[in-house]
Structure 1
Amino acid sequence: MRVSLRCQERLDQVAGIKAIIFDLDGVLTNTSEYHYRAWKRLADEEGIPFTRADNERLRGVSRRRSLELLLGEREASEEQAQEMMARKNRYYQEFIQQVTPDCMLPGALELLHECRQAGVEVAIGSASKNTRAVVERLGIGHLVDAIADGYSVTRQKPAPDLFLRAAEMLGVPPERCVVVEDAASGVEAAKAAGMWAVGLGPVERVGAADLVFPDLAGVTLDDIRTSPPTYESTNVPMYQPTTNWHITETEFNPATLHHKETVFTIGNGCLGTRGTFEEGYPDDWPATLVHGVFDDAPRVYTELANAPNWLPFALFVNGERFRMDRGTVLSYRRDLDLRTGVLTRTVRWRSPAGHTVDLVIERFASLANPHLLSIRYRVTALDFEGALEFHAGLDGHVDNAGLIHWRLVDQGPALSLSKGAIGQQGVYLHVRTRGSGIELCEACHLAVSGGEGVTYTHRDCECAPAVVAHLT
């Protein structure tokens, strides 16, 4: 059943599959047994009958939902529920200390290696909040491009959110993803996400999948490509060969930042912005260049003037500023989708004080409005409750290799985009080139949602106005 083909032949065969998203428990390893033991221990302590048949209902669902199924009609306060979930997790963490690379299920490691050789990206989509610890103990981190776990989304399986998040982290459209699952809820989630579902296990459990195997033993990429389904939601066949439109960086390396700033440039024909980080980084070279905006230089020619920097965006987590050169970067991925023009950075960051957040930062230059640039910044607190603060501003203190082209004309709060009135959510910066006399005005508008309340203020530092949002 094994095939031995050269890498390019494999790429030709599986060109339509861009990514495979694997569940963890019961698919790649047997930690589902440890989940059962942990729930069984908790049930015994609470005097609740719990069998392996009962455990089948807990496959692929969140810890809270599993507890609800375990308790049945028995009532528990929120405090009691939290204590029981923490106790179960403590037992599970004790059990997974036994996990080693030998705990990979038959065929799983071979399929992961085949995906790597064929250029098919791999993600893990598991409701477990211990996914990263298990992956580390299995020694397969180098074979996995992204991990979406119990911290990544609010709605767990059978909602499609977890798999959609994994696809987003990979930068792959859902219709180009295959999900491998061993639970009915996972199969349902995969199909709700518009992905092809491969089920592992008995038909009565995963029969709704598009393709069913007993397990991964002997399964190859060719087997997964058998009889691909037709999706009514797309006019593009799932397995039609396509050009790779993504430039992806999966490891953070400060030594290559200047090169990557060029690689991850966004633009729309009118203007372009280098791929520097919104929050800044030591010795970075931020630049936004606008078509036709030139200024004199102490040479025999003019040059494009570096426009005021529109990227500055600072996040404060309980008073600690997020920066890639501070705290701990737990995971990192940057992807430029050349088809849509969207640059996406995904980071899991732990502050020096131990607060962990997931960040998804997207930016693009609009084609509909060539003068519009946008940033979307999504923050998920993983292990704390506290205040977040966002600073978005404009920086006129820019230069071209030491040469300053701009003089300040005016700055201040900007008109509201919706009401045409002066408000706290916007600022503007009006500047003029020193030699050619070209005038340029930039405006910044910040809108924040989520939390219990948002308040806005603005800061009027010379040549660097900013909007500040406080979220509680």
Structure 2
Amino acid sequence: MIGLIFDMDGVIVHNNEYHYLAWQKLAKKYNVKITRKYYREKMNGRTLMELMEIIFDGELDKSQALSVGLEKEAIYRELYAEHREATKGLIPFLELAKSKNIPMVVGTSAPKENVVFTLDGLDLRKYFVGVVDDSMVTKGKPEPEVYLKCAEMIKREPRKCIVFEDALSGIKAGQRAGAKVIALATSHTREELSADLIIDDFSQLKWEQVEALLGV
């Protein structure tokens, strides 16, 4: 039996521009520099505490890092709230998979507050067996831990799972976990991505392609 694993940011919602804008507001306040290139190549897909370590070069203690990180996420939610919507074609695809009794799970580097904001805010939680968020892993993407735990949560072998990702580090995490990876070109161009299949959004994905990837 097969299983489907979904990253959240850039996959379930096309929201990376709002994360970038939130980081810019935070960077201005704390006098740090975050270029768009650096964000896309080095930050996207990592856990919040990993990002705090990278951005502030280890100068913040754990409690300070958490406080500043959560401040950034609150800024993001404020910026994105009015624009929040599921990625094109996602809900029909989830409905189809649900009708086939395919177990689905979310694996994200985001904190719980953002999971609630996204999945509950868009009434999407009903499609998923559960969520593996940043509090449940010790090593963020590109390490495979999050996706190995996702596969375990839905009682599937990783090789029988498809991971949906947009970030370069997330694609590597899925591949290292032993899963097939479908990449969404929401954060990077198609030319920058390397995966088993590349799509712009879920409206381009046919169920036959899912079955072909997993040899069903």
Quick check: TM above 0.5? yes
Q: Give the structure 1 partner of residue 59 of structure 2.
A: 76
Residues 1:89 and 1:115: Cα distance change in structure 2 (over 3 Å) = same
Larger Rg: 1
| SS at structure 2 position matched to 1:123 | strand
| SS at structure 2 position matched to 1:212 | strand
| SS at structure 2 position matched to 1:138 | coil
> How many correspondences in the alignment?
209
Q: Give the structure 1 partner of residue 82 of structure 2.
A: 98
Q: Offset of 1:187 from its aligned partner?
A: 1.0
The aligned runs of 1:198-277 (5 Å cut-off) are 198-201=182-185, 202-207=189-194, 209-226=195-212, 228=213, 238-240=214-216
Does residue 59 (structure 1) correspond to residue 44 (structure 2)? The answer is: yes
Q: Give the structure 2 partner of residue 107 of structure 1.
A: 89
1:150 aligned residue (94, 116, 134) = 134
Distance 2:170 2:201 in 1: 15
- 5+ unaligned residues in a row in structure 1: which ranges? 1-15, 229-237, 241-472
Q: Give the structure 2 partner of residue 44 of structure 1.
A: 28
Which one is further off, 148-157 or 77-86?
77-86
Distance 2:74 2:101 in 1: 37
What code does the residue aligned with 2:158 have? P
Are the counterparts in 2 of residues 132 and 147 from structure 1 also a CA contact under 8 Å? no
Q: Deviations over 1:57-100 (max 9, x none)?
A: 321111122233434xx551315433322321332343354365
What code does the residue aligned with 2:23 have? W
What code does the residue aligned with 2:157 have? P
What code does the residue aligned with 2:55 have? L
Q: Offset of 1:37 from its aligned partner?
A: 2.1
Distance 2:96 2:34 in 1: 39
Q: Deviations over 1:100-146 (max 9, x none)?
A: 5xx11111112111111122111111110121331000111211222
Supply the RMSD in Å over aligned alpha carbons: 2.1
Distance 2:196 2:9 in 1: 20
Q: Give the structure 2 partner of residue 134 of structure 1.
A: 118
Residues 1:76 and 1:107: Cα distance change in structure 2 (over 3 Å) = same
Are the counterparts in 2 of residues 27 and 216 from structure 1 also a CA contact under 8 Å? no
Q: Deviations over 1:256-293 (max 9, x none)?
A: xxxxxxxxxxxxxxxxxxxxxxxxxxxxxxxxxxxxxx
Q: Give the structure 2 partner of residue 178 of structure 1.
A: 162
Distance 1:206 1:146 in 2: 27
**Structure with greater strand percent:** 1
What code does the residue aligned with 1:239 have? G
Are the counterparts in 2 of residues 107 and 216 from structure 1 also a CA contact under 8 Å? yes
Q: TM-score, normalised by structure 2?
A: 0.86
Q: Give the structure 1 partner of residue 101 of structure 2.
A: 119
Q: Offset of 1:19 from its aligned partner?
A: 1.0
Which one is further off, 122-131 or 50-59?
50-59
Q: Offset of 1:147 from its aligned partner?
A: 1.1
What code does the residue aligned with 1:186 have? G
Q: Give the structure 2 partner of residue 26 of structure 1.
A: 10
What code does the residue aligned with 2:93 have? L
Distance 1:154 1:92 in 2: 24
Q: Offset of 1:52 from its aligned partner?
A: 2.6
What code does the residue aligned with 1:206 have? L
- 5+ unaligned residues in a row in structure 2: which ranges? none
Residues 1:181 and 1:134: Cα distance change in structure 2 (over 3 Å) = same
Q: Deviations over 1:325-368 (max 9, x none)?
A: xxxxxxxxxxxxxxxxxxxxxxxxxxxxxxxxxxxxxxxxxxxx
Distance 1:75 1:205 in 2: 30
Structure 1 consecutive aligned stretches of length 4 or more whose deviation exceeds 4 Å? none
Distance 2:80 2:154 in 1: 27
Does residue 187 (structure 1) correspond to residue 163 (structure 2)? The answer is: no
Distance 2:27 2:122 in 1: 28
**Structure with greater helix percent:** 2
What code does the residue aligned with 2:26 have? L
Distance 1:75 1:144 in 2: 36
Residues 1:132 and 1:165: Cα distance change in structure 2 (over 3 Å) = farther
Percentage of matched positions with identical amino acids: 26
Are the counterparts in 2 of residues 128 and 149 from structure 1 also a CA contact under 8 Å? yes
What code does the residue aligned with 2:193 have? V
| SS at structure 2 position matched to 1:225 | helix
What code does the residue aligned with 2:109 have? A
What code does the residue aligned with 1:70 have? I
